[in-house]
Amino acid sequence: MGFLRAFISVDIPENILKEIEKIQKKLPAFEGKITELENLHLTLKFLGNVDEKILIEVKRRLKEIKYKKFEAKISEIGVFSPSYVKIVWVKLDNCYDLQRIIDEKLEDIFKKEERFMGHITIARVKYIKNKKYFLGELKKTEIPDGLKFKVKNFKLKKSELKPEGPIHKIIEEYRLE
C-alpha cells in the first residue's frame, strides 16, 4: 500500500469537449499549454496525495451519497487573477450543491473547500506578451448558448504526473439517481 494523488471529478461529454476545443483554438496567443481534451474535467474536490488505506474510507463514504442527476452549463470564460494570469477556465454552473455534499461527507478527513468555483481548466499560461490585449480578447470570446449536459455521475480518480502531462485514471464511479 502506498499513496495516490487523487481527486473527485465530473467528466465532460464528447459533444461538449468538441465545443471547448473550438474555444481553445480561439484563445489569444500565449506561451503555455492548452489542456488536452482527455484531461478536461470539473474537479469537485482535490484530495492530494492520499494513503490507500484512507482511500478505502473515502470510497465507502462516496457510495453513501444520494443525489439526483442534474444539468450543468458552461456559462463564461475567464482567469482567476487578471494581474497574474496562470489559468484560463470556462465556468461550469450548477455543480455547487454536489460539491458541498461531497465536502461535507469528507470534512473530518479533508479540509473543506474555502471558495469552490465550478470551472474547467482549458489552458495553463506561462507567459503573455501583452496581458491587457490577452484579457481584452478573452472577454470577446463567445461561449455558445446551450453548452449544457446532464451530470449522471461523478468519479474518484488518480492522477499520475508524467513529463508529457498528467494521466488520469478512474478508481471508482458513483452514479447519481
What are the catalytic residues? 41, 119
Output the DSSP codes for 3-29: EEEEEEEEE--HHHHHHHHHHHHTSPP
Cβ-proximal residues to 43 (8 Å cutoff; 6+ apart), any chain: 7, 8, 9
Q: d(Cα 47, Cα 5) in Å, to the nearest integer?
A: 7
Q: Is 32 helix (H, G, I), strand (E, B) or coil?
A: strand
Cα distance between residue 72 and residue 62, in whole Å: 20
